[in-house]
Chain A
């Protein structure tokens, strides 16, 4: 009020004020005048009456302020009035109830708390206050944080339970924690003013579980006149998939409304992947930005995985967009700081290297050089090793219509070796020595060079016996047995129980035995045998070394001591192998006393293949008469019962220079069984046919494609991968000169059910290789035509009578040149 008005009033109140004047003023509802008069009256006539009149004047003034919208002034005046007129607090409490606005503020809650917990709080007042709390509370946290609310109060505890449950339901808690917190809601009394919050929390949980029926039923139990009812509307709209309400006041509120129901992570990813595949750059940018801001990316690692996946998909589609790359980089920088740029560049190089490994080699080395201040030595070594892996990769085979223009170079092993050396120099304790040495041996580098690396390895890892084993193998391969013995002894000192060390000892003993047998130093052979006394040998090795006793007896021309502990079949094969391999002078005595057995049963065949596998573990092969090997297909065909496992072992020999005829016989039996291993048998059959000369391209092609189709149907992805590699290699070799990449890039690989059945039936009937019945100098054109006729089920055209091949020609003439004599040669199978 202006000072002039105050002066006027002061002039008028110079007359003595009576109670009647004040009551009159109150009746006329002139609150300010009544208040001034009451203040004057209480000064002149202090007492109960004056106090009552003052209280009434304050009451009127407060009410008028409230009605004018000056709510805060009204509330402040209530506090003043209560101080001035303590005996009439109840008058002001009633007004205060009228002045509460919803949702309740912190100040309101403080007032409510003070009044509720006052000692003289009347029951009716409590009821009013609790009702106000029920209607007006919009956030349980406000109640919990209110200092005027006692911590032991039941309502504060209920608010705490409700808030915990709310956080668990609305946030990314584990299922167990969520359940635990929701169970505690049962502790909230049904009569509590906060009880309706429990309905909302349960409704929200049902909503998130996509159980809209339950959610709606629970929402219906929330009273409409409460502040919480606002959430009811929002949740109902979300379930009805309503758009953002236009009534929302501001942009930020609208954004908040939208953010309550983000897209699911998988939906977001699918959208982005679709945009990338459709190559719409604007859409890619928008969706990338959205996914990078998603709530579910809850840690830097998540962010990195998402960014890596985006880079990968874009590389697969060969899309390069600077804006998207910047977005990705900025996102990583946000999570990792400066390292974010490093990770972004590294991931880009690695994913680009999947299709262009030769570029990745160079890029990675440059990357390491540029970022070496941010990378430890071990990390630099790891990256160089990764580059070395890229350098070793084979040429990628993909649907490239212009193989001549885009083919990359063959694996660059020299580069790989150089990078591994660098990695080992940076991190001597790493595992990179192993691939380095393996690669150097594969590349047949000089032994002095390999020895230098092995020395470094030994120095870096003195307790690792692996370099010693490799040194042992190197020395052994050069025939330097004494040197190899030193390495072995050192390895045995470090780790006597290491299986590789024990195998090396057995291998050395075997080599020594053979050497001493050749040198006719039988006493040394006995000494060598004794080295393995006390060794816990597997049965097959025990049989091998025990068989040496029988060999010695025969060499000393002793009477045949019998097989002893040895298996007689094994013993027979061993003796004949040693005689042929070492050129031992056993002569006809061996053939009479221990003839080379026929492998006419499953057990005998298994014994032979065990022997073979054992020799392969010593890097040797059986050396037995060719004529004996030539009977394998018949034995396989006529053996009583052969397990699938044994047939597969025989078929797999094709992978390491096995004889096609044997594999064809084994796979014929395998295909007839029609068991779960049928695709594998068909695969080995295809490889056997591929080994023939001439190759029947169509047959091999169809067989491999049939296997791929079967693998895909049965979900045998490991086998499918191997077969695809063979198939790709086969197509490349067969159609290497076809500029347009051949049929493989036009027709689908998979065959129909009918075609597969035909192929299997045909291959079941084939028990010997196609080339077996042909003459030594076939007419190629006629052969090709007849092969095509076979494929197309057209009757063959027979050759003219003068050139007919006799089926009764002696076996010797049909045997290929390299297998012509009976002299035993090491057949590498």
Chain B
């Protein structure tokens, strides 16, 4: 995740210096550096991008102020990407309809189960 607003759970259209600072302090209380170093680093990065009005303006105009290439910030590739429960449930429903699942209490168990 690289969107500073997402990381700090802020609405980009309703942000002031004070709101950002408060969100940052809340976040580092939940993820202190000694317990969650990676998350803390993300939070710190996010804060640096939007802590002042000028920073937020620069983010809006010029994008992220980052030194890493896009490859370095893309989500890790070791895991297979997750697509959401909705798609899986839709696939299960489709396949279940296509497959003939027998009703063990049907009078004639060899009957078709087509609607």
| B-binding residues in A (CB < 8 A) | 63, 67, 69, 71, 97-103, 128, 131-132, 135-136, 138-139, 141, 163, 166-167, 169-172, 204, 207-210, 225-231, 233-234, 247-249, 253, 256-257, 259-267, 269-270, 295-296, 298-299, 301-302, 304-306, 308-309, 346-347, 350, 376, 378-379, 382-383, 386
Contacts of A131 on B, CB cut-off 8 Å?
A: 104
Contacts of B61 on A, CB cut-off 8 Å?
A: 346, 379, 382-383
B75→A296 contact, CB < 8 A:
yes
User: Looking at the complex, which one of A209, A257, A265 makes contact with B74 (CB distance below 8 Å)?
Assistant: A265
Contacts of A97 on B, CB cut-off 8 Å?
A: 103, 105
Known A208-B79, A350-B62: A301·B92 in contact at CB below 8 Å: no
Contacts of B79 on A, CB cut-off 8 Å?
A: 208-210, 264
B98→A302 contact, CB < 8 A:
no
Contacts of A253 on B, CB cut-off 8 Å?
A: 91, 94
Residue B99 is within 8 A (CB to CB) of chain A in the complex: yes
B95→A231 contact, CB < 8 A:
yes
| A-binding residues in B (CB < 8 A) | 1-6, 54, 57-64, 69-71, 73-85, 87-99, 101-108, 111, 113-115
B84→A382 contact, CB < 8 A:
no
Q: How far is the CB of A484 from chain B (nearest CB, A)?
A: 31
Q: What residue of chain A has the Cβ atom nearest to residue B107's Cβ?
A: A98
Contacts of A298 on B, CB cut-off 8 Å?
A: 1, 3, 6
Contacts of B105 on A, CB cut-off 8 Å?
A: 97-98, 100, 128, 132
Contacts of B69 on A, CB cut-off 8 Å?
A: 309
Contacts of A267 on B, CB cut-off 8 Å?
A: 77
Q: What residue of chain A has the Cβ atom nearest to residue B80's Cβ?
A: A208
Contacts of A227 on B, CB cut-off 8 Å?
A: 92, 96, 101
Known A170-B88, A264-B77: A306·B70 in contact at CB below 8 Å: yes
User: Looking at the complex, which one of B63, B85, B107 makes contact with A305 (CB distance below 8 Å)?
Assistant: B63
Known A101-B115, A301-B64: A265·B75 in contact at CB below 8 Å: yes
A-B contact pairs, 23 of them (CB 8 A): A67-B107, A98-B105, A101-B113, A102-B103, A103-B101, A132-B103, A135-B103, A136-B101, A139-B93, A167-B84, A209-B80, A227-B101, A230-B98, A248-B94, A262-B81, A264-B80, A265-B74, A266-B77, A269-B71, A270-B71, A299-B3, A301-B64, A382-B57
Across the A-B interface, give the 7 residue pairs with the lowest CB-CB distance, nearest first.
A230-B95, A102-B101, A309-B70, A227-B96, A264-B77, A266-B77, A97-B105
Q: How far is the CB of B102 from chain A (nearest CB, A)?
A: 7
Contacts of B106 on A, CB cut-off 8 Å?
A: 98-99
10 additional contacts (CB under 8 A) given A295-B83, A296-B74: A69-B114, A102-B113, A103-B93, A103-B97, A138-B89, A210-B79, A257-B91, A262-B83, A264-B77, A270-B71
Known A138-B93, A304-B63: A259·B88 in contact at CB below 8 Å: no
B83→A139 contact, CB < 8 A:
no
A266→B64 contact, CB < 8 A:
no
Known A170-B82, A299-B3: A225·B102 in contact at CB below 8 Å: yes
User: Looking at the complex, which one of B6, B59, B70, B99 makes contact with A230 (CB distance below 8 Å)?
Assistant: B99
Contacts of A263 on B, CB cut-off 8 Å?
A: 81
Whole-angstrom CA separation of A229 from B78 in the bound complex: 27
A260→B101 contact, CB < 8 A:
no
Contacts of A63 on B, CB cut-off 8 Å?
A: 107
Contacts of B83 on A, CB cut-off 8 Å?
A: 170, 259-262, 295
Contacts of A265 on B, CB cut-off 8 Å?
A: 74-75, 77, 81
B71→A266 contact, CB < 8 A:
yes
Known A208-B82, A259-B87: A247·B64 in contact at CB below 8 Å: no
A228→B92 contact, CB < 8 A:
yes
Contacts of B114 on A, CB cut-off 8 Å?
A: 69
Contacts of A208 on B, CB cut-off 8 Å?
A: 79-82
B91→A266 contact, CB < 8 A:
no
Q: What residue of chain B has the Cβ atom nearest to residue A262's Cβ?
A: B81
Contacts of A257 on B, CB cut-off 8 Å?
A: 91
Q: What residue of chain A has the Cβ atom nearest to residue B84's Cβ?
A: A171
Whole-angstrom CA separation of A270 from B74 in the bound complex: 11
Contacts of B90 on A, CB cut-off 8 Å?
A: 256
Contacts of B108 on A, CB cut-off 8 Å?
A: 67
Whole-angstrom CA separation of A662 from B10 in the bound complex: 59
Whole-angstrom CA separation of A601 from B39 in the bound complex: 52
Contacts of B75 on A, CB cut-off 8 Å?
A: 264-266, 296
A231→B77 contact, CB < 8 A:
no
Whole-angstrom CA separation of A135 from B5 in the bound complex: 44
Q: How far is the CB of A356 from chain B (nearest CB, A)?
A: 18
Whole-angstrom CA separation of A301 from B62 in the bound complex: 11
B70→A98 contact, CB < 8 A:
no
Q: How far is the CB of A365 from chain B (nearest CB, A)?
A: 15
A305→B113 contact, CB < 8 A:
no
User: Looking at the complex, which one of A101, A166, A261 makes contact with B103 (CB distance below 8 Å)?
Assistant: A101
A135→B101 contact, CB < 8 A:
yes
Whole-angstrom CA separation of A40 from B34 in the bound complex: 84
Whole-angstrom CA separation of A97 from B107 in the bound complex: 10
Contacts of A71 on B, CB cut-off 8 Å?
A: 115
Known A171-B85, A253-B94: A379·B57 in contact at CB below 8 Å: yes
Contacts of B70 on A, CB cut-off 8 Å?
A: 269, 305-306, 309
Whole-angstrom CA separation of A467 from B2 in the bound complex: 38
Whole-angstrom CA separation of A260 from B60 in the bound complex: 33
Whole-angstrom CA separation of A171 from B83 in the bound complex: 6
Whole-angstrom CA separation of A373 from B63 in the bound complex: 20
Whole-angstrom CA separation of A791 from B18 in the bound complex: 65
Whole-angstrom CA separation of A227 from B91 in the bound complex: 11
Q: How far is the CB of B33 from chain A (nearest CB, A)?
A: 16
Known A138-B93, A227-B101, A382-B61: A296·B85 in contact at CB below 8 Å: no
B91→A234 contact, CB < 8 A:
yes
Q: What residue of chain A has the Cβ atom nearest to residue B101's Cβ?
A: A102
Known A98-B106, A139-B93, A305-B70: A166·B85 in contact at CB below 8 Å: yes
Q: How far is the CB of A172 from chain B (nearest CB, A)?
A: 6
B87→A260 contact, CB < 8 A:
yes
Contacts of A350 on B, CB cut-off 8 Å?
A: 62
Contacts of B76 on A, CB cut-off 8 Å?
A: 266
Whole-angstrom CA separation of A570 from B83 in the bound complex: 72
Whole-angstrom CA separation of A63 from B3 in the bound complex: 60
A210→B113 contact, CB < 8 A:
no
Q: How far is the CB of A29 from chain B (nearest CB, A)?
A: 13
Q: How far is the CB of B75 from chain A (nearest CB, A)?
A: 5
User: Looking at the complex, which one of B71, B81, B88 makes contact with A204 (CB distance below 8 Å)?
Assistant: B88
Q: How far is the CB of B107 from chain A (nearest CB, A)?
A: 5
Whole-angstrom CA separation of A299 from B10 in the bound complex: 13
Contacts of B98 on A, CB cut-off 8 Å?
A: 230, 247-249
Q: What residue of chain B has the Cβ atom nearest to residue A166's Cβ?
A: B85
Whole-angstrom CA separation of A257 from B91 in the bound complex: 7
Whole-angstrom CA separation of A756 from B6 in the bound complex: 50
B63→A102 contact, CB < 8 A:
no
Contacts of B3 on A, CB cut-off 8 Å?
A: 298-299, 301-302
Contacts of A172 on B, CB cut-off 8 Å?
A: 82, 84
Contacts of A347 on B, CB cut-off 8 Å?
A: 63
